[in-house]
Amino acid sequence: MQWQGKIRPAGIGLNSVAGWQSALEDRAATHMMVMSDDMQPVRWFSQHTAAAVAAAPVEMVALFTGVRRHVERARQIGVHWVRGLGLFGGNGTVLSRAVVEDFLEFVEQIFLPVDPKCADDNLYTAYQVSKQLECWATVPCLLEHFAPRESTIGHNSPILTGRTAPWFEADLPTPVDWQANLPAALKVPPAVGTVTKRLLARWP
């Protein structure tokens, strides 16, 4: 990807894009993830993540979701997954290599010319909606937003205090049967906010 004019990887959205670019440099990687700087992983994170990604029948797996009603409903019906559009967030989502390459192409051709300062969650949702790519989110979450008001790189916000995991166990037992009741994974309506809708309306 070539950064045009004075645009540089700065701000939340472009920092995330730069992270995905860096991840692609590992030529042997089949899947990759960019994690926010204020996330706490479960114990045995690598093992849990590998097992979850292997079980999910999609190329986009979110390890964190802050939508409490979805997670609580999934627990009630005994499934480990919430699925739908708009679950791909900047906290920690695993993508296949092919999806990362396509996402970066989408960013270069559509996102940068229209709104290079777009927040990462809006960018991710717009990509999901435009491509109709479903994301599956783990239940329980494998990441916790342990300091939503603070960021080690300066992106602090006083309005994000509620964005924590509805179900997170730091010492989550291993293994988890991520394939249990897989066909019954909870499908939720598209989560597309007003900002993302406006952006989508401006894009071709």
Could you state, in order of their start, the residue ranges of all structural domains in the chain?
11-202
Give residue 175's identity as a one-letter amino acid code. Answer: P
- Identify which of 135, 115, 144, 112 has the alpha carbon closest to the alpha carbon of residue 192: 135
**pLDDT less than 70: residues of the chain:** 1-12, 147-162, 203-204
Distances, alpha carbon 112 to alpha carbons 117, 126, 181, in Å: 8, 13, 40
Half-sphere exposure of 96 (CA within 13 A, CB side): 14
Q: Which CATH architecture has domain 11-202?
A: Alpha-Beta Complex (3.90)
Note the pLDDT of residue 4.
Answer: 35
Residues 6+ apart with CB under 8 A from 152: 37, 38
Note the pLDDT of residue 5.
Answer: 32
- Identify which of 16, 15, 57, 49 has the alpha carbon closest to the alpha carbon of residue 185: 57
Note the pLDDT of residue 46.
Answer: 93
